[in-house]
Structure 1
Amino acid sequence: MKVPLANLLCITVLASSGTSFPMERRGTAAGKEKRVQYAPWDDVNVLAHGLLQLGQGLKEHVDKTKGQMRDITIKMKVFNVTVSELGKLTQRLQEDSETLKAKAQNLEENESLVLNVSTGLQEKTEELLRDRQKDHERMNKLEEKIDGMLQGEGLEAGKANNSDARIIQWMLEAQNKRIDDLVERIKQQQEKLDKQNIRIRTLQNQIHMRNERSSLKRKEDDTQLKMSSEQRDSPVAMASDCHELFLRGETSSGLYTIQPSDSRPFEVFCEMTPDGGWTVIQRRQDGSVDFDKLWQAYQTGFGSLNGEFWLGLEKIHSVSKGGNYILKVQFSDWRDESQNITYLFHLNGEERNYSLHILERPAGNLESFLSTEASGVPFSTRDKDNDLKNDLNCAKQLSGGWWFSNCGHANLNGRYFVTPAPKQRHQRKQGVFWKTWRGRYHPLKTTTMMIAPAEIENKS
């Protein structure tokens, strides 16, 4: 049962005032013997227990505050990204609006030109129709004269003038036909102009509606941007690990680019789970990559992020140095039986040979792959012997680089044996194994190591 903080302070003050100093008591007048009276043992226990409870409560409060500050920082980064994207969207909307305005202006000019041409054609059409009416009247008068000439004169006079009348009638018919053809072409042109006018009006309506929507969208964006005007020009920071990408909305496992503090950007494989994002630092699955590498390779990393790989000690250090991180180890054997375990850990930098510290050990036997050295266990390869065995190079004897406290606890970077494993014991001990799970001669089929902030474990 947890004691409230105020009660603990009261207990501490009362206990201190009542039992902190020894009390002197006067004796007889002759001897004046002084006796010292000490506080009862139960009071001392109460005081000590209260101080321990107070310290534990303060530690939990500090850890909780650190987690909340990290979440707030991540959310601020996400907010900065959103503000930057809104700014870019506003700029694109302004450019589109200017383009639409230019198109609308061109359309208005074209519409004015078409309307002028249409008006001119209508006037010409009316003029041609009036000329046609006049020609019809003239032709009717000529026909009446011809009929009169044919009826009023004799046959000889009629025969003499018949040829001229027919020529005139033919000319009039030809003229009428030309006028009819011209009127028909004018009608067709007028229909085309009418269709063009309808299209222009439709485009104008569409442009008007788009301008209204753009204006409304721009007002909404301006309102949002005004709320964060001080943060609009702040640089967009990359995520520092896969869990921060998860908090930004990424939920699919795969390759991403991150940039931890004081580090250059680099690519990682993120394992996204319902509870958060894990940065994978090692994977073995088919033996396609030789893990018997030297120090430089283990420091910078090797392999393919989509297959087997080692991320690199320097990259692992840059990701995990930002706070409390946990290490999850998953492995399975050739019988498809699997196991996993997590550790709260800390990894030193190059100056300490990337020493690994296991801060809290979970219950069970699987956690004992390192010794309990207070200074941590440094990383070791066959060209850089940092293990704790004075008379033996564990990396050279077992193959691969690892945190070797001695040569027999675990080695997930050893030689990959496809079942069945070699019969010789000195060869089998070079394989991938975890001693406290099936023994050091039991080869593993798959291994995965991944890291994430410690708060992900509290949410799961």
Structure 2
Amino acid sequence: MTLTLTFMFVLVASWTMVLCTKEEPMSEDPPLLQVPAVEARSRFAALDDVRLLANGLLQLGHSLRDFVQKTKGQINDIFQKLNIFDHSFNQLSVLASEIKEEEEELKKTTVVLKANNEEIKSLSLEINSKVESILQERSQLQSKVGGLEEKLSGLSQGLVPAEQLAEISTLKDVIHTQERSIAELLKAVREQSDQLVQQRSKIKTLEEKLTFNPSMQETIEKPSDNFQSVTPDLTGYLTNTSANGSFNMTDLPSDCCELFTRGERASGMYTIKPNQSEPFMAYCDMDQDGGATIIQRRKDGSVNFDQNWEKFENGFGDFQGEFWLGLKKVHSLASQGDSFLNIQLEDWKQGKRFIEYNFSLDGPEAHYTIHLSQASGNLPDAMSNHTGMKFSTKDRDNDNLEDSHCAYTYTGTVVGTGEDDILWMHGLS
């Protein structure tokens, strides 16, 4: 549009110059033929029209320029609004991501609270049954004491035999003991009741949150995609060079116990090399006296332990969470000499218990047969009667039972009947 206006202005100016040029000879050298006055007036009238047209075009050009400036301003405003919209959209995306993470955390918390609630209910029922039994015994003892008191009142005038005095004293001691037991059980029942109230309050709060957020409820009702996904393999054997460079094969410790002897006191991942084995990564617990190599850890159910033979032989999971070190590696650790297998359990109230066994493990040719004998601990012994049992998985049944397959029965992998708890292996020199 600007080029068109410029061209028109040049055309008008040229026309004006031509007209002016034609008028100059009339003042200096009159032509041979006189031009009529009417024709001269018509020429001047045309010139006025041209000038009027030029002024109109000039005004039109100014108007167009103002319109273009105004349009540019409006376009700039639109771009600013678009930028504001993009910024708001990005903020909404970040907020949606945070909400999704909170949903995952709430889902995990709900599962844990439900499990705790079921455990508390079972404990409460068990305690109630014990309290009822104790109350019945107390009633029986009170009736016996009442009978003895009647006998004593009848013999108050005479001398009481020593046997009856001893029986009365014994019964009184029993009654006092029962009363103390009842008081302790009632206290435990009250504590369990308070915990049940707290658990129900937490569950109710979570249910209210789920009610206000239907999408979260659908997420909880659906099985976890992460749990159904492929369980990651644990770090395999290392060669004489690693991603960080080379290391001396002869200088590596044989287990975490040797690391502790060398002065290491920080728990974490270390490279070890048991006898007759390639080096591999292991998690060492230096909080244990003498150091301990963790061969299994379970704490939150984030890893599916219902795996096949290959997975259990090579190891799977994550050292930072739940994992199984692998049968090959455990066998190489146990083959170095006398070892202890230490099983530690921690409940939801941070109560800790353990049991420790003298431990050895045969190689793959014997299907990793386990040999155990109890050494110490405050847990019930559930493993000693499985000594001599072979390792079984859902795809390889080695338990020698004709009418059952333990790995399928207990939905997992077993040595005999299996223990899905935290395991430590202590190497002893």
TM range (shorter): 0.3 to 0.5
Larger helix share, 1 or 2:
2
How high is the TM-score relative to the length of structure 2? 0.40
TM-score where L is the length of structure 1? 0.38
Q: With a CA cutoff of 8 Å and minimum separation of 6, indicate the structure with the bigger relative contact order.
A: 1
